[in-house]
Structure 1
Amino acid sequence: MPDLFAGPGGIDVAAKDLGLHLTGIEWDPNAVATRIAAGLSTIHGNVRDFRPVDFDEDVIAAGPPCQTFSIGGTGKGRASLDALLAAVKTAGARGFVTTPEGLDDRTSLVLEPLRWILEAYNSRHPYRAIVLEQVPAVLPIWQAYAEVLEPRGYSVATGVLNAEEYGVPQTRKRAALLARLDGPVALPAPTHRRYVKGVPQFAGDPSLLPWISMADALPDRGEFTVVSNYGTGGDPKNRGRRTSAVPAFTVTGKISRFRLLDPDGRELPRFTHAEAGQLQGFPADYPWTGNDIPQQIGNAAPVPLATALLRAATA
């Protein structure tokens, strides 16, 4: 299956674990280097230069770039939401995607999965299953996608998921869309409890597993406190803190700026690339390669969440 904007391999690792064949399209040479080192099927290129006919597959996955939609990003995507929603509606009526004038190049990439989906549908070789994920601000666009897909016979589920409820050792929210042409689909049910500040790890619904802490994911680190790069009002004194006994803050490309302190308040070495990857659910020995590795890690889809989404869409 094609994986658009494949990054260093979060969805790919999940697909491999599920026995699914996947080919990732990725333009960033650093992420491509990591993918090749990990033995993942990879095309180094721009998704705009390819079409569904280039892939003999009936499942598609995509996680378009989030920088213009995320809270820590430029905000251009959020400011262009009305134009994007109108473009999706127009695509549904016409059967093809037209990018609105004046939209910046990166923001418009959120329309690329729809182009692929409609081209495949129009060629009479529609995708059997679709898996999309992005930051929560993109949920309205996924909901607009649903209005395009449902009249074409797809069962569609959309919503915002909490990554720790699927075994990811961090609190990260992702907007997801799952669609199936051959039967009903639903977002995956949580396997782990939701993290609530102050609620003990082993409290809560006994039918669910406890959420996973940083200490669980990084047992060799010992006890520590993370001082986040995120501040309140720009005041470093107001930056969030979490102990290793709870899940990590959302892992972003700035995770290398997180300070780590021992129980006595002394500075510890910051997260290694391997440790940051483990907080995204990657194996400890994942071969991070190339430059800007923190950004690669922050851009990746958390592996356990990707596994849950793929399983729900393809089982």
Structure 2
Amino acid sequence: MPDLFAGPGGIDIAARQLGIHLTGIEQDTNAVATRRAAGLPTVHDTVLNHRPADYPEDRRVLTAGPPCQTFTFAGTGAGRAHLNALIKAVRSFGTVVPADLDARTRLVLEPLRWIVDAWSDLHAYEAIVLEQVPAVLPIWQAYADVLERLGYSVATDIVNAEEYGVPQTRRRAVLIANLYSPVALPAPTHRRFVKGVPQSAGDPNLLPWRSMADVLPGRGPFTVVSNYGTGGDPKARGRRASYEPAFTVTGKVSRVRLVGPDGHDLERFSHAEAGQLQGFPADHPWSGADIPQQIGNAAPVQLARALLTAATA
């Protein structure tokens, strides 16, 4: 079962925990090094060179997290500028694609090619899981229209990662679908983080959100100083205490300052610690170069597990 744009393995680790066997297709040499060190089945190539017929043995699940750089507010914005054209392309089943789309933005249409190809040769995927940055939600909604025409039950929306046990606040546009069973997005298992509201407060039927201290207990108290989520204004740097969830982990996680109770700078997050904030095990064998970027690009493991469970139940 293919995992497109598989990265260092967030979705694959969640799948392995659930007994689902994915084969990741990943072009980045560094992410491939990490995946192979972790024993995750991997094809080192671009998704563009493959199709469902190359993986005929099992059509149960298709997962994908296409590159997000042209859709983020920190990126080029090319994807957001082409949203209407991309939506039209999806609703045409991928047959009408604007010629002026840049190569990276065009990749958001690749899962559609796999879905339609598999359905056309009468070996449709039973379950589908897609995730991306929030700006991609209108494209996933167009996907939902297509999938429903193909007979799938579909659910798509923005979810908050901390509501599924991820020790960071991270919003993602997600889509799950199943060809044979009704689906709904997974119900939160943890409370949503609200600044200033204690971890112990909130719905007693839900678990507390998880803090950085919960997953990094050996660190001692610290404050994270980051300008993520503040519009990039260096005068408005965000702060999170270690007893709160992390900010969204990005490829710049290694630059985040950690300040001790005495006001002095502490050692910054190690690769293992940054990975734990994405739900990876502490001993995940990060390999190759650009490891902070690998971590920032990964799907959080706990969120992936919740989505896979909901899609395949």
TM-score bin (small chain): over 0.9
Higher mean Cα deviation, 235-244 or 304-313? 235-244
Q: Which residue of 2 aligns with 1:107?
A: 105
The superposition leaves residues 165-201 of structure 1 with CA deviations (integer Å, 9 ceiling, x where unpaired) of 0000000000000010011001000000000111110
Q: Which residue of 2 aligns with 1:15?
A: 15
> Does residue 88 of structure 1 match 2:90?
yes
Structure 1 length-normalised TM: 0.97
Change (3 A) 1:234 1:133: closer
Q: Which residue of 2 aligns with 1:228?
A: 226
Aligned pairs (5 A) from 1:157-176: 157-176=155-174
Q: Which residue of 2 aligns with 1:192?
A: 190
Task: Name the CA distance, whole Å, in 2 between partners of 1:128 and 1:233.
Answer: 41
Q: What SS class does the counterpart of residue 71 from structure 2 fall into?
A: coil
Q: Which amino acid aligns with 2:73?
A: I
**Shift, 1:229, TM fit:** 3.8
Q: What SS class does the counterpart of residue 238 from structure 1 fall into?
A: coil
Q: Which amino acid aligns with 1:51?
A: R
Q: 2:251 aligns with which of 244, 250, 253?
A: 253
Q: What SS class does the counterpart of residue 186 from structure 1 fall into?
A: coil
Q: Which amino acid aligns with 2:3?
A: D
Kept in 1, the 8 Å contact 2:274–2:295? The answer is: yes
Q: What SS class does the counterpart of residue 237 from structure 1 fall into?
A: coil
Q: Which residue of 2 aligns with 1:32?
A: 32
Q: Which residue of 1 aligns with 2:51?
A: 51
Q: What SS class does the counterpart of residue 107 from structure 2 fall into?
A: helix
Q: Which amino acid aligns with 1:52?
A: P
Task: Name the CA distance, whole Å, in 2 between partners of 1:266 and 1:145.
Answer: 49
Q: What SS class does the counterpart of residue 24 from structure 1 fall into?
A: strand
Kept in 2, the 8 Å contact 1:167–1:212? The answer is: yes
Q: 1:66 aligns with which of 59, 65, 68?
A: 68
Structure 1 runs (4+) greater than 6 angstroms displaced:
none
Change (3 A) 1:234 1:277: closer
The superposition leaves residues 41-87 of structure 1 with CA deviations (integer Å, 9 ceiling, x where unpaired) of 00000101000011122210000000111121111100010110110
> Does residue 138 of structure 1 match 2:136?
yes
Alpha-carbon RMSD across the aligned residues, in angstroms, is: 1.0
Q: Which amino acid aligns with 1:151?
A: R
Kept in 1, the 8 Å contact 2:227–2:236? The answer is: no
Unaligned runs of 5+ in 2: none
The superposition leaves residues 196-252 of structure 1 with CA deviations (integer Å, 9 ceiling, x where unpaired) of 111110101001000000010100000000001437465423110110010000000
Q: Which amino acid aligns with 2:142?
A: A
Unaligned runs of 5+ in 1: none
Q: Which amino acid aligns with 2:36?
A: I
Q: Which residue of 1 aligns with 2:208?
A: 210
Kept in 2, the 8 Å contact 1:229–1:257? The answer is: no
Task: Name the CA distance, whole Å, in 1 between partners of 2:182 and 2:241.
Answer: 41
Kept in 1, the 8 Å contact 2:227–2:233? The answer is: no
Q: 1:296 aligns with which of 294, 297, 300?
A: 294
The superposition leaves residues 103-132 of structure 1 with CA deviations (integer Å, 9 ceiling, x where unpaired) of 000000000000000000000000100000
Task: Name the CA distance, whole Å, in 2 between partners of 1:234 and 1:153.
Answer: 44
